[in-house]
């Protein structure tokens, strides 16, 4: 019997059985698990913002132009997207998630150390790919672990806590300190290199703590499930689920603004704000995003209890509708000059507070309801992979093309104090208009995607004929 919306018997193999006993979880270890995963998320967020916060320093120190910077951002993002599903395959096959997280942290710590010592574009590009492959395991593996130890009613909140650590703590500290120090020299070492060394050191210190302190539910190893072909077949099956297709498409559009925002600090620096002030202003965005993750998770859980088939989707739609006027205000109404700093602080904070309700309040909890427990890391990693390709491939490349080709951005390798006021203003206006295009249009497209989800979600979770779990 086929389910409506294009689902087949193959689709049901991955659906959760309502009669199946939950995985055994030692509840006394849940707080420790959550805290350790928050610590990992903090370092993940710090690492992700090291490059964007150093863009201006890389322009002046290494002579990299806007296309080089876009390529570095894309390289890391695409490697995260490609590697994620295969890390998810290992996690779903019973490989110890504790060992996977430990290995990933060691590799990304060493790669970040090497990045701090690199001096040419090719070395930076190669190391960004290695770094991205290590970071790619965190999304599916950490989310799978959190899903195992979280009651269904609390998943939105727990996902929100992880994202809060990533964005409001890790990314914020990294943006503020790296932007402030990147153009300075500390004991003769460029500030952006010092920032990379620091994050790498903390990553290598935390890795043994994960190995010693993290507890995870016991799972049976299923080595026969490991393989590229099997994971590609899994993806083909997920694509038959209409709700998965819509969430993935929405994510494809939805991550473009975040990827384009990698140039946010650079825009504020060209607008005339000092490095530290530019970092502080833009840091308000991830501060708001971190709080937004918790708000979105709680609101999604609350509305889902009131309207089980629509509450989470409504949470996402409210978020997107409210974001649109804030985006217009930041990149169309506020003039790019130092006197606008306080307005930028307020508006970037407001945009962050509204941005991630769809992530923790809607997308992640819904994906977990579509799939059996032994495929949760897999489906979430594939959805993340599609998101990453959309954001990291289209976001930076579209922004640098629009800024240079359409609005006249001109590369300048001088320090900010040596650039003429007219040239700074021209580059600020170019980045401003490019950022408006790469944030507003994808946000509207996301809003359009969520309308369809009201129909597909209800059908997909009400499929009654289910085959046993994959053995």
Which one has a higher pLDDT value, 339 or 467? Answer: 339
The count of other CB atoms within 10 Å of the CB of residue 67 is 14
What is the per-residue pLDDT for 318?
92
Mean pLDDT on 259-278: 81
CA-CA-CA-CA dihedral for 259, 265, 267, 269, to nearest 10: -170
Going by C-alpha positions, the residue among 236, 234, 309, 358 that lies closest to residue 460 is 309
What letter does residue 340 receive in the DSSP assignment?
A: G
Going by C-alpha positions, the residue among 43, 394, 446, 8 that lies closest to residue 246 is 446
Helix, strand, coil percentages (3-state) for the chain, rounded to 5, are 80, 0, 20
Identify the burial level of 19 via C-beta atoms within 10 angstroms of its C-beta, where 0-12 means exposed, 13-18 middle and 19 or more buried. Answer: exposed
Mean pLDDT on 33-59: 82
d(CA 125, CA 68): 9
d(CA 242, CA 217): 31
Q: Which two tokens stand for residue 59?
A: 């322009």
Which one has a higher pLDDT value, 471 or 434? Answer: 434
Of the chain, the end-to-end C-alpha distance in Å amounts to: 22
Mean pLDDT on 29-37: 74
Q: Where are the alpha helices (DSSP H) in 93-151?
A: 97-117, 121-135, 138-149
What letter does residue 268 receive in the DSSP assignment?
A: H
CA-CA-CA-CA dihedral for 131, 360, 315, 327, to nearest 10: -30
Q: Contacts for 224-229 with beta carbons within 8 Å, 24 or more apart? A: 225/89, 225/92, 225/93, 225/94, 225/470, 226/89, 226/90, 226/93, 226/95, 227/89, 228/86
Cα dist from 164 to 65, 88, 158, 204, 287, whole Å? 32, 22, 10, 22, 8
Residue 329 has pLDDT above 50, yes or no: yes
Residue 326 has pLDDT above 90, yes or no: yes
Q: Which two tokens stand for residue 328?
A: 């217009």
- In order of their start, the domains of the chain are 9-14+24-461 (1.20.1250.20)
Give the tens place of pLDDT for each residue, 371-427.
765 676 677 778 877 877 767 777 777 887 888 887 777 766 555 555 667 777 788
Q: Which two tokens stand for residue 101?
A: 């997280």
Give the tens place of pLDDT for each residue, 280-289.
888 888 888 8
Mean pLDDT on 81-103: 82
Tell me which of 73-77, 155-159, 241-245 is least confident: 155-159
């Amino acid at each position: 019997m086929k389910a409506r919306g294009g689902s087949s018997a193959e689709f049901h193999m991955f659906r959760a059985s309502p009669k199946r006993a939950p995985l055994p979880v030692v509840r006394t270890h849940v707080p420790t698990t959550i805290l350790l995963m928050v610590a990992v998320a903090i370092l993940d967020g710090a690492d992700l913002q090291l490059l964007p916060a150093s863009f201006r320093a890389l322009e002046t120190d290494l002579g990299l132009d806007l296309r080089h910077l876009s390529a570095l951002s894309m390289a890391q993002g695409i490697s995260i997207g490609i590697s994620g599903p295969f890390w998810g395959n290992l996690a779903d096959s019973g490989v110890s998630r504790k060992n996977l997280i430990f290995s990933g942290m060691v590799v990304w710590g060493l790669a970040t150390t090497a990045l701090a010592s690199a001096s040419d574009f090719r070395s930076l590009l190669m190391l960004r790919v290695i770094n991205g492959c290590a970071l790619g395991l965190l999304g599916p593996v950490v989310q799978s672990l959190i899903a195992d130890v979280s009651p269904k009613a609390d998943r939105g909140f727990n996902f929100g806590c992880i994202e809060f650590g990533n964005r409001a703590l890790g990314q914020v500290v990294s943006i503020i300190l790296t932007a402030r120090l990147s153009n300075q020299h500390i004991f003769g070492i460029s500030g952006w290199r010092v920032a990379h060394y620091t994050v790498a050191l903390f990553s290598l210190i935390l890795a043994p703590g994960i190995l010693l302190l993290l507890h995870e539910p016991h799972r049976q190893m299923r080595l026969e499930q490991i393989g590229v072909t099997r994971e590609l077949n899994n993806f083909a099956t997920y694509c038959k689920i209409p709700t998965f297709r819509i969430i993935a498409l929405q994510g494809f559009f939805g991550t473009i603004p975040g990827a384009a925002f990698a140039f946010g600090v650079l825009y504020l620096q060209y607008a005339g704000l000092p490095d530290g002030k530019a970092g502080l202003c833009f840091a308000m965005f991830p501060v708001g995003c971190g709080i937004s993750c918790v708000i979105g998770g709680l609101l999604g859980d609350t509305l889902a209890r009131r309207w089980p088939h629509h509450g989470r989707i409504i949470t996402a739609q409210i978020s997107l509708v409210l974001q649109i006027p804030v985006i217009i205000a930041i990149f169309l109404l506020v003039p790019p000059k130092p006197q606008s700093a306080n307005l930028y602080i307020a508006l970037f904070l407001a945009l962050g507070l509204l941005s991630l309700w769809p992530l923790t309040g809607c997308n992640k909890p819904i994906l977990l309801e579509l799939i059996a427990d032994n495929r949760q890391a897999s489906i979430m990693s594939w959805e993340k992979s599609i998101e990453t390709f959309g954001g990291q491939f289209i976001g930076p490349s579209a922004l640098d093309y629009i800024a240079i080709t359409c609005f006249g951005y001109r590369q300048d390798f001088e320090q900010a104090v040596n650039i003429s006021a007219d040239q700074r203003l021209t580059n600020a206006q170019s980045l401003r208009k490019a950022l408006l295009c790469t944030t507003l249009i994808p946000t509207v497209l996301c809003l359009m995607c969520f309308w369809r989800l009201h129909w597909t979600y209800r059908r997909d979770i009400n499929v009654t004929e289910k085959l046993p779990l994959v053995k």
